[in-house]
Amino acid sequence: MNLEELKKIREKAQKDVELRQKESRIRIVVGMGTSGIATGAREVLKAFIEEVGRRNIHDVAVTQTGERGLSSQEPMVEVFEEGKPVVVYGNMNAEKAKRVVVEHVVNGNPVSEFAVEVI
């Protein structure tokens, strides 16, 4: 595994690019404040990133941010989708993150039992 292999990835990706939307359909933002990190936000962010890779999902952007303010419910995750309310998930872990990918991102049904707020 070396950086040369990235060139092959680029060549293949350029062939596929026409098939895809340029803009991300869904944006997943994981809160990485001090309390989020202390309660496992890195594992949550890693689970989202791994699932995007494993399931070959091209229209989702996974990003991190700083403290969000509701530290009692960290790790927290916001899911933004064009034309839909923002869903805020709280007390997340890696397993819950995988369920959010399957049920919310892939199948379009927010996981209400993990949601702490819908804006």
Partner 1 sequence: MVAGMMEELCSHVMDIVTNSITAKAKHIEVSITEDHKKGILTLYIKDDGVGMDIDMARRVQDPFFSTKTGRKVGLGIPLLKGTAETTGGSFSLITELGRGSEICASFSLNHPDLPPIGKLKDTVLVLIVGNSEIDFTFRHKADEKEFVLETSVIKNILGDTPLTSPEVINFLINYLDENL
Q: Are 44 and 93 within 8 A, CB to CB?
A: yes
Regarding 2 and contact with partner 1 (CB under 8 A), the answer is yes
Using CB under 8 A, which of the segments 34-42, 75-83, 97-105, 107-115 binds partner 1? 34-42
Quote the tokens at residue 106: 């892939």
> Per-residue x/- marks for partner 1, 52-91, CB under 8 A?
xxxxxxx--xxxxxxx-x----------------------
Regarding 14 and contact with partner 1 (CB under 8 A), the answer is yes
# binding residues, partner 1 (CB under 8 A): 40
What is the C-alpha separation between 75 and 83, in angstroms, rounded?
A: 25
Beta strands in 20-74 (DSSP E): 26-31, 60-65
Q: What is the DSSP letter of 44?
A: H
Q: Are 51 and 17 within 8 A, CB to CB?
A: no
**List of residues contacting partner 1 (CB under 8 A):** 1-3, 5-7, 9-10, 12-14, 17, 30, 32-35, 37-38, 42-43, 45-46, 49-50, 52-58, 61-67, 69
